[in-house]
Amino acid sequence: MIRLVGLSSGSYYVLHMALLVWIAPSIAFFVAPAWSEQMPAVVGPVVLIVAAAVLTIPSALGYFAIEAPGIAIGRGVTRKASLLAVARTQAKV
């Protein structure tokens, strides 16, 4: 689980501000206003933890749908470029 969070941290960084616009009001719907007024030191961290947990799902999906394939393509391009560079160097010798 920790590894998944680490892998998807880039997606989390990119998506968190866009998704918080929808997630924060959804979480606030479940929190009684009296709780926020009486126990803000408890409610605030709980809301942040729930929001972070909820954001993990689209972040992981973003990683597997966009980041991982992009990384694989980049590695393939880099590998081919380095092979071409080696071939050119050997051809000159």
Question: What DSSP letter does each residue of the chain carry, written as one string?
Answer: -HHHHHHTHHHHHHHHHHHHHHHHHHHHHHS-HHHHHH-HHHHHHHHHHHHHHHHHHHHHHHIIIIIHHHHHHHHHHHHHHHHHHHHHHHHH-
What are the residue boundaries of the structural domains of the chain, listed by start? 2-92
Please report the pLDDT score of residue 62 as a whole number.
92
Residue 39 in this model has a pLDDT that exceeds 80 = yes
**According to the model, what pLDDT value does residue 24 have?**
84
pTM attached to this predicted model = 0.69
Average pLDDT over residues 33-43: 89
pLDDT in tens, 46-93: 988 999 889 999 999 999 999 999 999 999 999 999 988 888 888 776
What are the tens digits of pLDDT across the range 5-17? 888 888 989 998 9
